[in-house]
Amino acid sequence: MDRVAAPAHPAPGWRVWLDAARPKTLPAAVAPVLVGIGLAVEAGAFHALAAACALAGAVLIQVGTNYANDAEDFVRGADTDARKGPTRATASGAVTARQMRTAAGVAFALAFASGLYLIARGGWPILVLGLASIASGVAYTAGRYALAYTGLADFFVLVFFGPVAVAGTYYVQALSLPGWVPVAGLGPGFLATAILLANNIRDVDEDRAANKKTLVVRFGRAFGVRLYGVCISGAVVVPASLALVAQQGGDGHIGVLAASVLAAFLGRPLARTLATTADPAVLNPLLGKTAGLLFLYSVAFALGWALT
């Protein structure tokens, strides 16, 4: 049963829904699509409509996941007055859990609708990919074995916001999939995982009290901080490795090293901050900064690959 919330407004304003969509997290959805587009442009396979549909679907799945998370974390008791992050819509009583779940369903339905053209173009693999992505969004916080409550969320974020999203975006344009494309997807995937880790490190005490067994709860804050650093390092290594392989093959792409430089010079200070403070006033902006790094990194990755 839903927990009893404060009386909800009968018609929540647009700002409530915008805030509940968590705009600062949306770069995690946009970033791998940008990388997939950049790779397709370089291959001479850019397809504007397919790219636009892929971008719309990715953003809508992220919004649906955020709406579902807003409702389910409240119902499970993870969002309380002790929360260090921004107030959530369901927990504040601005909407009911039922309203938020309905909004999540609408977002997922729109995501599926935006993918109909991609299914017609790319066939059953895209149908499977789309359904799996939506299912993961629902299962993130809903159900007995919710990903966020069992410590599996980090792995799914790495995979679905990295190799899956980049490969899917590339495939619906090129209708082929070289083996190195999913490897390129690990770059944005690492930074998307870093966003989740920053969130879970900040919320470790509240998550532990709510029996939300994130990796940080299971293995400790220090482990989470180290894993954040590993993700930053992974984001540095991926484009550098691809550039090295491309150079050996005589294909250039040296410009993609700009993404490695961004990850190194902007990511390392964020990792140090995360390691040296538990102040929510510092950690809350750090989530947005990590998301901003992911976006800049992906733009640099896409342009660096496409133009050199």
* Mean pLDDT of all residues in 167-179: 95
Sign (positive or negative) of CA dihedral 203, 56, 121, 139: positive
- Tell me what pLDDT residue 225 has: 95
* Reported confidence tier of residue 239, pLDDT bands at 50, 70, 90: very high
* Reported confidence tier of residue 85, pLDDT bands at 50, 70, 90: low
Q: Is the pLDDT of residue 139 over 70?
A: yes
131 is written with which tokens? Answer: 């359904």
Q: What is the dihedral of CA 306, 169, 53, 159, to 10 degrees?
A: -130
Q: Is the pLDDT of residue 7 over 50?
A: no
**Per this entry, what is the length of the chain?**
308
Sign (positive or negative) of CA dihedral 298, 302, 303, 308: positive
- Tell me what pLDDT residue 1 has: 42
* Percent of the chain's residues with pLDDT above 70: 92
Q: Is the pLDDT of residue 118 over 90?
A: yes
* Mean pLDDT of all residues in 203-232: 92
| pLDDT tens for each residue of 252-277 | 678 889 999 999 999 999 999 999 98
Residue 114: which of 125, 130, 135 has the closest Cα?
A: 130
* Mean pLDDT of all residues in 8-12: 55
Find where tokens 């990792």 sit.
271
Q: Is the pLDDT of residue 73 over 60?
A: yes
19 is written with which tokens? Answer: 């805030």
- 15 CB-near residues (< 8 Å, 6+ apart): none
Give the amino acid at 157: V
* Mean pLDDT of all residues in 190-197: 95
Q: Which of 100-104, 113-117, 249-253 has the lowest mean pLDDT?
A: 249-253
pTM above 0.85, yes or no: yes
Q: Is the pLDDT of residue 148 over 50?
A: yes
Q: How far apart are CA 137 and CA 91, in angstroms?
A: 20
- Tell me what pLDDT residue 132 has: 93
16 is written with which tokens? Answer: 């409530």
Q: How far apart are CA 60 and CA 88, in angstroms?
A: 19
* Reported confidence tier of residue 13, pLDDT bands at 50, 70, 90: confident
Q: How far apart are CA 126 and CA 123, in angstroms?
A: 6
Give the amino acid at 135: A
